[in-house]
Copies of this chain bind each other. A is one copy, B any other.
Amino acid sequence: MTATVHPITARPGPASLDPLLQLVAPALNSVNEIILARMQSDVAVIPALAGHLISGGGKRLRPMLTLASAHLLDYGGTRHHKLSAAVEFIHTATLLHDDVVDGSEQRRGKKAANLIWGNQATVLVGDFLFSRAFELMVEDGSLKVLKILSSASAVIAQGEVDQLQTQRRIETTEERYLDVITAKTAVLFAAACQISAVVAERGEDVEAALDSYGRNLGIAFQLVDDAIDYAGDGAAMGKDAGDDFREGKLTLPVILAYKRGDSEARRFWEAAISGERNSDADFAEAIERMRAVGAIDDTLERARHYGRLAVDAIADFPAGKAKSAMTETVAFAVQRAY
């Protein structure tokens, strides 16, 4: 095995997901087959609706993390293929419910499912995929995996409800915001990685290391997503820049800009988050106000901090293709905004 280590601090060039993709490509084909087979139903709208999201431009990031983690542990079996599919189903179910909850118009660069099939079918197909995820786990038969993913699912739902409460509350603290994104995003990243340690039977320390890698990577991803909404190229992300702003979504750049702003700035942010300022001109003003206090840069710096924790979490594992790919994935996560 040729080992190339890419420490994220020492690599100036653009990082990409390619090493991760190359690492997991053969296994990912098998996972995709399981996903396609298990989203079928006699009720035709189910595969149509589920396929719109599942087949349409998703990165499969979470299942790829399960597969990469299994590589890192030199696990030679295939049990994690079904479990990767289960993780993707849970993720897809939460996206479908999110789209209904947020009234989304776009998802992954396509029209959101709820706008094509309606909120009703979208909620129910989410429920269906969630049930299918558990069926896949039951077939695998590990109660520990079932415990990790049922507990993750409960935390995700709690996080989503929690976010509904914070959505328009400008005085939300950074700590509380981190709790929300940990629950909403990072916990499933963590579970996706940890379950490979369970099937590889590598013990609780290894489980904890992979949980930590996934959790910190997830936080980094979410923080960069938050920053990109005020800085990035919407087309590349499959979402429009300014979406969060127009929805009055409270994210870390807003929290920092509010906290660091003078009383005039605070009035602007209060109005923005309560939905009174959501024009293009307001959005341009928001970006300017953020830049003036370094809110976007510092959100990205926070993301790099969590990225470093993710890299450190797998420091003990032997060098190799898997470790390199997982390290470069972190670099990709934090560099996307540039």
Which A residues are within 8 Å of any B CB, using their own CB? Answer: 41-43, 45-46, 93-94, 97, 100-101, 119-121, 123-125, 127-128, 130-132, 134-135, 137-138, 141, 143, 146-147, 150-151, 153-154, 156-158, 160-162, 164-165
Contacts and interface: CB of A to CB of B under 8 A. Distances in A.
A134 B119 contact: no
Contacts of A93: 127
Interface of A is mostly: helix
Contact of A143 (B130, B143, B147): B143
Q: Which of A100, A101, A127, A154 has the most CB of B within 10 A?
A: A127
A153 B127 contact: yes
A138 B130 contact: no
A125 B165 contact: no
A333 B162 CA distance: 40
B158 A41 contact: yes
Q: Which of A153, A156, A157 has the most CB of B within 10 A?
A: A157
A134 B136 CA distance: 13
A187 to B, nearest CB: 11
A59 B207 CA distance: 43
Contact of A157 (B127, B150, B158): B127
B97 A157 contact: no
B164 A120 contact: yes
Contacts of A154: 128, 131-132, 135
7 contacts: A43-B161, A46-B158, A119-B119, A124-B164, A131-B157, A134-B146, A141-B143
Contact of A161 (B125, B132, B135): B125
A172 to B, nearest CB: 14
Given A124-B164, A135-B154, 8 more contacts: A43-B161, A43-B162, A100-B120, A124-B161, A130-B157, A131-B151, A135-B150, A138-B143
B124 A101 contact: yes
A128 B158 contact: yes
A97 B127 contact: yes
Contacts of A147: 135, 138
B150 A138 contact: yes
Contacts of A161: 41, 43, 45-46, 121, 124-125, 128
A254 to B, nearest CB: 20
Contacts of A43: 158, 161-162, 165
A85 B102 CA distance: 30
B97 A123 contact: yes
Contacts of A46: 158, 161
A132 B150 CA distance: 7
A78 to B, nearest CB: 19
A138 B146 contact: yes
A41 B123 CA distance: 23
A86 to B, nearest CB: 11
Contacts of A164: 45, 120-121, 124
